[in-house]
């Protein structure tokens, strides 16, 4: 073998080795990118499911808020007027208003999601920012609904002490909701005078009136969360190949 042929052979072998190494790097990078894309796709699918579940819960709770607003309006027609009602009517009026919020979002799940590597490595900063905004909005809503519940329970509980013979507060352990019921030792005849005084007292009507803006604010915050979720789902659908 001549010297020229030897160098050509060495050159070709070197090129083949370098090419094989570069190909291996390229295949490795391609495979790693595929894994990242698969993890990102899986993360987004889980995110979409959590957002859809939170939205469903929001819609259900929104119906309860509207029912509560209607119950407050119905109660305002009775309290502070000359109309008198029975104990059962009183219970039926107050029960829908006083139910403690049992609303739970996937906020904790969403907060855990933003701590993952998949979230930090998302290609779309818009999705990242929007998800942070959704979590913030959920927090605003929960604070608003808590203010409403605290006002009702603290104010009405202290006010009801004046009319302790009418009803007692009963905590339903199964659902952690605050309800009302007659003391077992009382009868309607025994408490009718105090019941009439309770119905005609304007102070309680004012308490009910103050509940209206608190309830409305909770509804407003709820609508804002729903809007944020819908916008985020639309962004995910447009920027990624995920059917929603």
Residue spans per domain, the chain: 3-239
- Whole-model pTM? 0.65
| Most confident of the ranges 83-97, 101-115, 221-235 | 221-235
pLDDT digits (tens, 9 = 90+) for 106-121: 556 777 777 887 788 8
- Could you tell me what percent of the chain has a pLDDT over 70? 52
| pLDDT bucket at 27, cuts 50 / 70 / 90 | low
Return the higher-pLDDT residue of 90 and 179. 90
Q: What is the pLDDT of residue 167?
A: 45
Q: What is the pLDDT of residue 68?
A: 80
pLDDT digits (tens, 9 = 90+) for 152-211: 777 766 665 555 545 443 333 334 444 444 444 444 445 566 666 666 666 777 777 777
Residue-wise DSSP of the chain: --HHHHHHHHHHHHHHHHHHHHHHHHHHHHHHHHHHHHHHHHHHHHHHHHHHHHHHHHHHHHHHHHHHHHHHHHHHHHTTSS----HHHHHHHHHHHHPPP----SHHHHHHHTTSHHHHT-S-HHHHHHHHHHHHHHHHHHHHHHHHHHHHHHHHHHHHGGGTTT-EEEEETTTTEEEEE--TT--HHHHHHHHHHHHT-HHHHHHHHHHHHHHHHHHHHHHHHHHHHHHHHHHHHHHSS---
């Amino acid at each position: 073998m001549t010297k020229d042929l030897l160098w050509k052979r060495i050159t070709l072998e070197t090129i083949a080795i370098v090419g094989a190494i570069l190909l291996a790097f390229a295949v490795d990078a391609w495979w790693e990118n595929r894994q990242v894309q698969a993890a990102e796709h899986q993360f987004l699918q889980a995110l979409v499911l959590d957002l859809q579940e939170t939205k469903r819960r929001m819609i259900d709770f929104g119906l309860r808020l509207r029912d509560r607003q209607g119950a407050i309006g119905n109660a305002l027609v009775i309290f502070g007027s000359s109309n008198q009602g029975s104990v059962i009517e009183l219970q039926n009026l107050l029960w829908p208003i006083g139910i403690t919020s049992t609303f739970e979002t996937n906020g904790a799940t969403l907060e855990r999601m933003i701590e993952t590597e998949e979230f930090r490595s998302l290609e779309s900063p818009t999705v990242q920012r929007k998800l942070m905004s959704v979590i913030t909005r959920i927090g605003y809503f929960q604070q608003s609904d808590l203010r409403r519940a605290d006002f009702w329970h603290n104010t009405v509980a202290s006010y009801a002490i004046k009319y302790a013979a009418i009803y007692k507060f009963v905590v339903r352990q199964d659902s952690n909701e605050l309800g009302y019921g007659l003391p077992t030792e009382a009868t309607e005849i025994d408490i009718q005078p105090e019941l009439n005084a309770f119905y005609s007292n304007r102070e309680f009507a004012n308490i009910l009136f103050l509940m209206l803006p608190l309830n409305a604010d909770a509804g407003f915050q709820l609508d804002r969360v729903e809007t944020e979720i819908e916008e985020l789902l639309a962004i995910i659908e447009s920027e990624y190949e995920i059917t929603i």
